[in-house]
Structure 1
Amino acid sequence: DFLSSRKNANNLVDIIQCLEKSIGDQNASPIIPCILALETIFTELLKNHSMVIEVEPLKPKEICPETQYREWLQDNYGEAYQLILKCLCVEKTSESIQALATAMNLLTFEGRYPIDYVTDSAYYFPCSKLRSILQCLLSAEKTNDYLISRFQEFTTYHDVLHYSWKFLPGLTPRGQIPSEIYVDNYLNLINAMPIKGVDEEQITLLCDNSDKVKLAFDYQAIRKNINKSWVCVMHWQHTEATHQKVLMVLLERVLPHLDKPLALTDFLMDSLDAGGAISLLAFQGVFTLIQEQNLTYPFIYEKLYSMFEPEIFHTKFKSRLFYLADLFLSSTHLPEALVAAFVKRLARLTLVAPPQDIVICLYFIGNLIIRHPGLKRLICHPNGGQVTRDPFIMDESDPTKSNAIDSSLWEIAALQNHGIPSIATAAKFISNPLPTIEWDLTQVVGVTEDDLFDQAIKKSSKAAFLTLDRPTSMFLPKGDRTQEFWKLF
């Protein structure tokens, strides 16, 4: 009705008031119909330039009913947009996601059909609108994982990506400690936005107007803003959860784009002592600096050795540990006493590890023995003599002093009698000639306990066992325990 005739202009005010009431009162009318109605109205007004006020240079603005009407539309547009941004903070996921989609759609139309005067040759982007959206995403009171995930779809457009990175350093709180929720949202937003250069021919714009100059997408400018943002992140106080997320985002997204990656050394060294998943992620960061920045860390093998604890099997980053250990122990020139300590520690851990992780340890042990044939003495050492106890010292922090080279892999021999067939079969490698090609750990790293269960139930049994003891007569055997508790008539 509003678009059909100006006589219905007050309908716009009614819709805005209805939306405002719905935001404040959960029992009021639904939010989404109001948002969609406002989106339909203002996209049409923007497309038809119905809110543009013509201004001639060096001439005062003409005051006439048409100008006043357009000013009134602009005021209502600004008020409606602020209410839509408030909808980003509502609890209902579907409503907040629709509010984000509407806000970005209005931003798109305003970029293509500007309200304010813009020269024909200039590229226009409604920066204030995008900045307001980013401020809502970086809430200090509400985790916005799903909203940031939806916003990620818009960052495929290079104008949105360019200005998002431009605004991000300036959206950090000044002079105060950010909340854990804010830090989590900030890291999620960094993790969601792409970081890469692009050829001019491949640039895609959300606010695309073929009649105007294209946006100059500059990777170096983005990299500069990444470094500014990350400096802020490093100065914040972190909880265990945000500390872990900082390391994940650093390793997976940010590290290759930092100007001075060696400045992270102190942070990573402190993180190594935190224990658990944080230590493991920090260790991967140290490894990257050693590999790419020639960082020197003299006790790297001792630190890697200390990470093989039973707790590591209960973290989602255990595959990273085996990957890093495989890289560090790939050289055939390492001392056998050092590698033997890793072999023996892994063998000892198989006694307490979950079933799916036992297979990983067994294959990794086999690969280490293939690389270092001298370690076969741990399997068969005819001249080794007899010992009354295992000489291996599990609590020794220095792997070269653990006496692992004088021990044996009795743990793996014990696993040959494991109740799970796949584990018992994997443990039999010490009783057979070793292969010349290493086992592919990627085939077993992703195996879960459910996978082992599914494999077991798919196997068909050749015989169905009905009794524990084979019957020798028609009567119950004497001394049967069931006779003590059951009476047969």
Structure 2
Amino acid sequence: MAPVRRKKATETASEPEKLTIERVKELHNQIRESPKYFNNIAILIDEYKALLKEFGTDTNEDLNILTRFVSLTLLKVFDHIITTKQLKLTSFENEQKETVRKWLKSKYDDFKLCLVETWKIDIDNEGVYALKMDNLDSLMKFVKIESKHFSSNKDEPFFSNRTYKLVLQHLLITGNLSQMLAHDATIDNFLILEFRESYFNKYWDLRYFFFSELRSILETELDPDTQQLIVSNVITVIKPQPLYDLKNPELTMYVDNPPKTVSNMRQFRSTFEKCILKLINLKLLPEQYKAFLLILHKRIIPFFNNPTKLMDFLTDSYNLGFNVKDISLSILSLNGLWELMRQYNLEYPDFYTKLYAILTPELLHLSYRSRFFRLLDIFMSSTHISSAIVASFIKRLGRLCLTAPPSGIVCVIPFVYNLLKRHPTCMLLIHCTERETADQFDDKERDPAKTNALESSAWELEAVIHHYHPNVGSLAKIFTQPFNKYSYNMEDFLDWSYSKLVDNELNKRFKGELAVELESWDSLLGEEGYLKEYVY
């Protein structure tokens, strides 16, 4: 590898200093040989800082290799110094040894800061990515080494929170909000993904202290952009899998002898609870708001000591959906509210009134439509709901079908059929012939128990039978037949889209020949070579 040339401030342009891998090895060997060469540590750190500055103007392969080599060499240097107890304060040390120890400690802290500073280099280069990954691994190795050798007494449980917090402080502000994925507010950030897969997901003690240090980080003064970046990075970390198996938690540790408190699940849940409440009360982006609502019932609520503390957030989210005219927020908040009602006996007044309010024309156009109908199927599964309320839902859903896309109507028809099977008293909506000419259903009434739906008829469903799309019309004819079929499996209908309906029609197999208005011919051209005349 060609040497990398740089000039010190005291050197002239004709006397450049050469730094090579062989020179780095020489400095390292001298450090291991005797403490009298400890000043080589300062030389290596200065060289490392200078190399990092060159990344802004030059990112050739030789520079990448040399920079990574210097970084890994310093890792070995401090690993040796820590394991030989040269950074640890001991009794009866003379003044000279204490001075050396303090100097080594300052250089060690300086090097760790250099490592995290590399994460700020904004260059799209494989060598830069490799350096950043190396430095994450180096810092995590320091956490492990310190936890083993920095305890006050031998074999005393210890975890290096100080270095781990340094890692998290800088790691959680890496990436860019422009990289945020709109559908789940996670960030395509390779450093965060590496930390999640190689450390957070594998080791319980790192998960435990992640939230205790996060809480401390969130209590510092941060500008809104930084807060939002931290939020997306945290969502990226916790979204893929539960924090632990609720039935049989496996606590694999990263450090050899962590503090006993890491086994205290109640303490962990308390810390996690405080962190999440702090995060959701920040000024969130709309995508982040939805992301929390999406993962709330599986990734957050089960790990709270007191999940009812989320009540205000969920009710505010429901109301916000109507205030900002984004009903998907209301749908997602109901998911969490139902979980609190079902698992934790939360009393939520006027639940069905609020559920009924979500049945607006935009509902059947949303990407969250299938999620809503899965929830609605659960909410309406009770046979103890009054017929008046069920009839109101049937009428409102039928009314929505008049302006809905075909894929939305395909969800509604089997859902209404199942409702009628479950609540036979509502069959009046399609079978009673003694009705007044005017529709008695009050579409403006907010309370589903007071809409007079049972005094009306489901004429909207009959109108759907004549829908322009043949699949929709055929499906709606189920209401004209005897109700002796089994209830529909809703999962067969929830994920239909308009393109799927078209593809289904195009791929349909027909028996026999298709009826056409033209006379059929064996070939397009006649024997004379000209087009045959079509005869009507």
Q: 1 CA distance for matches of 2:371 and 2:128?
A: 36
1:3 corresponds, among 20, 25, 44, to 25
Contact 1:344 1:409 (8 Å CA) reproduced: yes
1:49-128 to structure 2, matched below 5 A, reads 52=84, 54=86, 57-60=91-94, 78-91=109-122, 92=124, 98=130, 101-114=133-146, 117-118=150-151, 119-128=153-162
Amino acid in the other structure paired with 2:195: F
Relative distance call for 1:274 and 1:109 in structure 2 (3 A) is closer
1:31-430 to structure 2, matched below 5 A, reads 33=65, 36-45=68-77, 48=80, 52=84, 54=86, 57-60=91-94, 78-91=109-122, 92=124, 98=130, 101-114=133-146, 117-118=150-151, 119-139=153-173, 142-143=176-177, 144-146=187-189, 147-153=191-197, 154-155=199-200, 156-174=202-220, 178-179=224-225, 180-189=228-237, 191=239, 194-196=242-244, 202-208=250-256, 216-275=262-321, 276-381=327-432, 383-385=433-435, 387=437, 389-430=438-479
**CA-to-partner distance for each residue in 1:18-43, whole Å, 9 max, x for gaps?**
12331xx1554468545642453245
Contact 1:87 1:95 (8 Å CA) reproduced: no
**TM (normalized to structure 1)?**
0.80
Contact 1:340 1:375 (8 Å CA) reproduced: yes
Amino acid in the other structure paired with 2:53: E
Contact 1:35 1:84 (8 Å CA) reproduced: no
Task: Kindly report the root-mean-square deviation, in angstroms, between the aligned alpha carbons of the 2 structures.
Answer: 3.9
Q: 1 CA distance for matches of 2:403 and 2:384?
A: 31
TM-aligned CA deviation for residue 362 of structure 1: 0.9
TM-aligned CA deviation for residue 369 of structure 1: 0.6
Amino acid in the other structure paired with 2:168: L
Relative distance call for 1:194 and 1:217 in structure 2 (3 A) is farther
**CA-to-partner distance for each residue in 1:199-244, whole Å, 9 max, x for gaps?**
99943233347xx998843322211211221342354344533433
Q: 2 CA distance for matches of 1:100 and 1:208?
A: 26
Gaps of 5+ in 2: 1-21, 32-39, 178-186, 322-326, 522-531
Contact 2:44 2:70 (8 Å CA) reproduced: no
**CA-to-partner distance for each residue in 1:245-284, whole Å, 9 max, x for gaps?**
3433433322233333334333333322212122122222
Q: 1 CA distance for matches of 2:252 and 2:269?
A: 19
Give percent identity, aligned residues only. 24
TM-aligned CA deviation for residue 307 of structure 1: 0.3
Q: 1 CA distance for matches of 2:265 and 2:67?
A: 36
Structure 2 match to 1:486? none
Q: 1 CA distance for matches of 2:508 and 2:155?
A: 71
Relative distance call for 1:259 and 1:12 in structure 2 (3 A) is closer
Contact 1:21 1:28 (8 Å CA) reproduced: yes
1:432 corresponds, among 472, 481, 503, to 481
Which shifted more, 333-342 or 317-326? Answer: 317-326
Amino acid in the other structure paired with 1:400: A
Q: 2 CA distance for matches of 1:21 and 1:362?
A: 66
Secondary structure at the counterpart of residue 252 of structure 1 = helix
Contact 2:208 2:262 (8 Å CA) reproduced: no
TM-aligned CA deviation for residue 51 of structure 1: 7.5
TM-aligned CA deviation for residue 462 of structure 1: 5.5
Structure 2 match to 1:487? none
TM-aligned CA deviation for residue 420 of structure 1: 3.9
Contact 1:46 1:109 (8 Å CA) reproduced: no
Gaps of 5+ in 1: 479-489
TM-aligned CA deviation for residue 108 of structure 1: 4.0
Secondary structure at the counterpart of residue 362 of structure 2 = helix
Aligned residues: 468
Secondary structure at the counterpart of residue 3 of structure 1 = helix
Contact 2:269 2:303 (8 Å CA) reproduced: yes
Which shifted more, 131-140 or 334-343? Answer: 131-140
Contact 1:88 1:100 (8 Å CA) reproduced: yes
